[in-house]
Structure 1
């Protein structure tokens, strides 16, 4: 990504550029361009510290080069975890000064969405909500075009709120009386098929009021857990039961006034019973012609869709207690209970209502506004208003291509509501239909696959026709990532294109858990000249010279494995979520982990001159550094962050101190067990040159690591790991920052690659 920051009166601009390398360029008002690392200090203030007060403009993404939108700030926004909530985008100002010409040149929102889908998706993942303001969206038909431009599938509405279809996929938001406040809720939270995305459009802005307040659901969960831990624990343990009475006919005076005939789109009670059973409801028919619906116990807490890690307040407690009681048919103490049947404390529910109001953002609607919400991350409501007001809505779900299906296998584990690993197979087709190629499936479902990888850290593709190394290379190319060259001592042979053998160690050799190429980084040196133009008086511009040296990691961000020949037995590639290992180690050995975080690690390894086929790290220094010249080897090692000490029969490589704990690439929030402790203690000692683990590995201050703690870590890795037997044609995609892996087999093909967007310069 490249972003533009404006400082002061716009005389100096700072742009985050160089894609994933996070450097900053500076240019003055006449266009002279300069550069500086983001960690340098300007006038005593770090750029990183100043970013929060700067205006951010999207200028370029790795997918597109659209110049059609700008991130703007509005007074109502709040700041959470460094992200503005909601994100607000507007058309990039056009150079023309004529109002009519400027209006004509304003890009259509449909075109902007199509050109910036990945960027918008990133903003939605960070903020949970994106408001599009200032685009020419004037009618319900225009809004329907916007909905279609996103490419989401339609999610049919099921519920008791009165709504009318306007055009295409567009409905009225809620036809309750304008003086009625609709409490905070997740849309269709009681139904198994709730929409993942909501879109709202302001066709007629209200005279006053009528905002659609929004609040981050994970913030509500955190506040409630801090204030009422026992209530939240019981909610997590038992879930909720909802009981609602629906009348025979529609009641326009109620926000939940749809009768059961309109709600279930039939007058046949038998059909109603069939439909609700699919949604998990039970029915009790009443003498007055109405019906009592009972749902539950169901979860009251879920995990958000962006990372699968943050818990969200995904329930209808407040709306049931405060709105359903406004409907004469429903008693608030009976409409919602804990899953064990016990009542909810009213004072706690009203505390929750206060938290929702305090943490919410209410932005006055403007004509043409379009609001995109992640329904699993955001609760929304409606304030009373002075009419006229017309806000329309569309309910959407993430489209799953008909070419793939998420499946369950016995070996999977469940973490934070996500199956690990995610397993994808071709959607069953008629016998005569051909199974889709994995390359085509990837190209049609890139974002969906990326979302699954983000949630689970690993995706296994099973049942696709991938038969040869050449087929596998095509799969690698289809994903569209750049190649990451292999640097290390494991023996590997190129097969075809970007495909290598996984490891040529003997098949009976067990390779311990590790992240791939943990120890590799590259040193960069830059010379920058920064010109800062004085804003006051006639003072001359200041020119500052910087020389910057820093390292960025060169380990692959993603790994792909392919089983060309499945083993007779064994040979699995066990995997484990690295943040789970970190959490368990921190709980069991807090002092060890604290020292690891404070001091990092120093690795010392002896390499022979030539290849040793009996060792899993048997590449000699000549093949490792790609030269027989010791001076060239010294230069290349220095660029990779190593110090070399030459021996009579080889070379000692020293690396560190380097971090042993990092933050994962998906959120930068979870800490991960990103080190080679196990590989050194259990793998290197099998190599005759590195048989003493106390010499091969130490804390950054030189002190040794306790062996008993390391073996405890080995037990944790084994306990938490998943080992899925390979089948011919399997392709396994891993996030190398999120997942540790171990033992390979010689017939398993390997490929490691990096994505520009996940290369960091802040790790060392």
Structure 2
């Protein structure tokens, strides 16, 4: 078994690869690279540091790093679309840490790659922590891994325009119910329209996944981000007054039994403890394999603006 304890992303700078700074220099380096996909799988994550890519030239780089840029459909994180399938990375308040997760791991389809771009670096903090999913899985107690072996069940309650959490219109980027149903019909999810133009979506998903190239098993679920015990006092207070199936989002084991608080707290805390921080400078980029590596966000001060795009 590989020793993952000293893993960190590969940092690529103009000096380390003999490239010119800027978007054109980075694009030229990528064009000459014989096997970007192989490099990414082998290294799990790549940091393009000190190229100083200007936001106006970002598409030049994205077109090479993300060959099939995908929309953030069925995503549960608050984001704003700012370009051609380019989004703000998250809009949670800056004082909160966002725990480790693989993008859309609760969904039937997830992106294979994520690309982050630093438009504005924070004054302090604000790193994007990344964790090797195999190391995260290995860090968990046997009891926890065995309990999750049967998978997890996610439930979303999406309002129709007014209510807690996200609306189905925001989530699926459409106002058309038929389009939502057409999308959900391909996802192996159960769904039901509720009074008040609300939508409930339930999905059973595995807790771990094997990478299609390396065959490595990695932790691959967002149970801690859907469980009130791991989301702070506001979420816990809401869970005390609303049944689990009425919360904006909730999670259980796939057989419907509750996940103990201690399990999701262990998952959250050990993922963050095993993570490596990628600090940001304006114009830097981070490309990750979304199965092999999970990501999060450290708390920060100042006007941090990190954009994200993904590839199917």
Tell me if TM exceeds 0.5.
yes
Distance 1:172 1:389, change over 3 A: same
User: Partner residue of 2:13?
Assistant: 90
Aligned mate of 1:116, from 3, 19, 33: 33
TM-score between both structures, scaled by the size of structure 2: 0.85
Q: Rg bigger for which structure?
A: 1
2:145 alignment counterpart: 232
Give the distance between the partners of 2:188 and 2:252, measured in 1 at CA.
17
Measured after TM superposition, the shift of residue 91 of structure 1 is 1.0
Query: Alpha carbons of 1:246 and 1:179: their partners in 2 closer, same or farther (altered >3 Å)?
Result: farther
1:312 to 180, 202, 218: 218
- Normalising by structure 1, we get a TM-score of 0.37
Match status 1:374 vs 2:281: no
Specify whether residues 117 and 384 from structure 1 end up closer, same or farther in structure 2 by C-alpha distance, changes over 3 A only.
farther
2:201 alignment partner in structure 1: 293
Contact kept, 8 Å, 2:46 with 2:287, in 1: the verdict is yes
- 1:266 aligns with 174
TM-fit CA distance, 1:235: 2.1
Deviation at 1:124, TM superposition (A): 2.0
- Matched-pair contact (CA < 8 Å) for 1:244–1:294: yes
User: Is the CA contact 1:172–1:391 (under 8 Å) kept in the aligned structure 2?
Assistant: yes
Structure 1 alignment gaps of length 5 or more: 1-78, 96-101, 398-764
Matched, 1:241 2:153: yes
CA distances 1:83-120 after superposition (whole Å, capped 9, x unpaired): 7411111112699xxxxxx97799611111111242x4
Shift of 1:318: 1.2
Number of corresponding residues: 301
Tell me if 1:163 matches 2:69.
no
Matches within 5 A, 1:525-536: none
Partner of 1:575: none
Task: Please report how far the alpha carbon of residue 206 of structure 1 lies from its aligned counterpart in structure 2 after TM superposition.
Answer: 0.5
Gaps of 5+ in 2: none
What do residues 591-626 of structure 1 show as CA deviations (whole Å, max 9, x unaligned)?
xxxxxxxxxxxxxxxxxxxxxxxxxxxxxxxxxxxx
Aligned residues: CA RMSD? 3.0
Distance in 2, matches of 1:221 and 1:157, equals: 26
Equivalent residue, structure 1, for 2:129: 213
Q: Does the C-alpha gap of structure 1 residues 167 and 273 become closer, same or farther in structure 2, counting only changes over 3 Å?
A: closer
Comparing both chains, which one has the higher relative contact order based on Cα–Cα distances under 8 Å and sequence gaps of 6 or more?
Answer: 2
Q: Does the CA contact (< 8 Å) of 1:305 and 1:377 recur in 2?
A: no
Residue range with higher mean Cα deviation, 325-334 or 173-182: 325-334
Matched, 1:187 2:100: no
TM-superposed CA distance for 1:194, in Å, is 0.8
Q: Structure 2 CA distance, aligned partners of 1:338 and 1:222? A: 20
Q: Which residue of 2 aligns with 1:342?
A: 257
Given candidates 271, 274, 298, the residue that maps to 1:356 is 271
- Seen in structure 2, the aligned counterparts of structure 1 residues 117 and 179 have a Cα distance that, compared at 3 Å, is farther
